[in-house]
Amino acid sequence: MYKLKEIAENICYVGVNDRQKGLFENLWPLPYGVSYNSYLILDEKTVLMDTVDVCYSDIFLKKISDALKGRPLDYLVVNHMEPDHAGSIRLLRQQYPDVQIVGNSKTFGMIQGYHNITSGLHEVKEGDTLSIGSRNLAFYMAPMVHWPEVMVTYDTKEKILFSADAFGTFGTLDGGIIDTDMNTDHYWEEMIRYYSNIVGKYGNPVQKALEKISALEIRTICSTHGPVWREHVQKAISIYDKLSRYDADEGVVIIYGTMYGNTEQMAETVASALSANGIKNIVMHNVCKSPASYILKDVFKYKGVIIGSPTYSSQLYPDIESVLSKIQVRDIKSRIYGYFGSFTWAGAAVKKLAAFGETMKWDVVGEPVEQKQGINPDTYAQCWSLGEAVAKRLKEEA
């Protein structure tokens, strides 16, 4: 028998923790694991908010059974169809064959595609409500945050927003569920990393969704990943607002590739110049060692981006090229940009880094540096000048 945590009166947490998976979406590292959150409302009607990854369906279904205590499950609300949240729908329907599945038209197309379920569906549209007894549930569409079918559900009685992936974080829930019951310090960096990795491309849709929910009184946010936000509702919303506007803190991310250490010496020189000119937030990522997940997080976090690459087979260094493609997919806007490169017999990296800056429409600052073979006094001075120029521009915009 599970003793389940109540989020509010007659609303309990039935989610699970995943401490086994190494990579989220087989891409993003999970050093702290991840939670799959689901919530059960026990009113005159019983309502489940989303399911969990099918790998944890046995634990999940036992928690629901314990909470229901023999009552039927009347409704399943599907806010998001990604398999880490919708993976257990088919098994849930097998255990509760009369459950009505609540979603929008896009949701139902995906439910048929993933689970071959075409009956027992209750369609909702923008602003529709569902009375379940002492409370009403209201539904608002949030397309492309971060899939096209996403919606959020609002409990008008308890002022709870069931927000799908929005305001989520990486990281398991280690005992506590609600932010007031835990130390939330490490979740904030994980929220930025989660946003930049998973949601990052969709800044404009996030802004539209934030504008929509701004009309609601929200006392609690129940996301599908990470803590339930109660004390920090406004902080969570403000982080998503800032990231989706591509706003950033004063600081510089230096992203570089290096084979024999020569390009790294250029990066070290640029970093020293930034520090000497008053920049305190400097993050250096050697692409051979730093997972792209953390590089993306810092590109979202800081205003300045400086990229260095050796020429490799007349192209960019492969791991640099891979990171640049991930940045480009996310269409990150309004960054101050500098770049440098090195070569032994024929240079190409600097030209390609210039093209990347043009594609991103970033503000190019300072003179790019191209080093032939090892660093010398001239290229050292040029690298220093590049760091100095970026620092000056950052200070001007502060």
pLDDT exceeds cutoff 90 at 226: yes
Contact 72, 42 (CB under 8 A): no
Q: Considering the chain, what is the average pLDDT of its residues?
A: 97
Q: How many angstroms separate the Cα of 294 from the Cα of each of 167, 197, 257?
A: 18, 9, 15
Listed in sequence order, the residues at least 6 apart from 267 whose beta carbon sits closer than 8 Å to its beta carbon are 254, 256, 258, 284, 306, 308, 340
pLDDT exceeds cutoff 80 at 282: yes
Cα separation of 65 and 369, whole Å?
64
Q: What is the mean pLDDT of residues 253-275?
A: 97
If you ran DSSP here, which 8-state letter would residue 203 be given?
H
pLDDT exceeds cutoff 90 at 396: yes
Q: How many angstroms separate the Cα of 292 from the Cα of each of 5, 283, 325?
A: 36, 14, 11
Contact 147, 205 (CB under 8 A): no
If you ran DSSP here, which 8-state letter would residue 227 be given?
P
If you ran DSSP here, which 8-state letter would residue 99 be given?
P
Q: What is the pLDDT of residue 292?
A: 98
Helix axes 185-194, 233-244, angle to 10 degrees: 30
Share of the chain above pLDDT 70, in %: 100
Q: What is the pTM of this model?
A: 0.96
Note the pLDDT tens digit of each residue in 328-369.
999 999 999 999 999 999 889 999 999 999 999 999 999 999
Note the pLDDT tens digit of each residue in 71-129.
999 999 999 999 999 999 999 999 999 999 999 999 999 999 999 999 999 999 999 99
Cα separation of 370 and 349, whole Å?
8
The β-bridge partners of 312 are 315
Q: Helix %, strand %, coil % for the chain, to 5?
A: 35, 25, 40
Q: Are strands 129-131 and 160-162 parallel, antiparallel or unpaired?
A: unpaired
Q: What is the mean pLDDT of residues 274-295?
A: 98
pLDDT exceeds cutoff 90 at 1: no
Q: Tell which residue, 307, 347, 349, 310, has the closest CA to residue 327.
A: 307
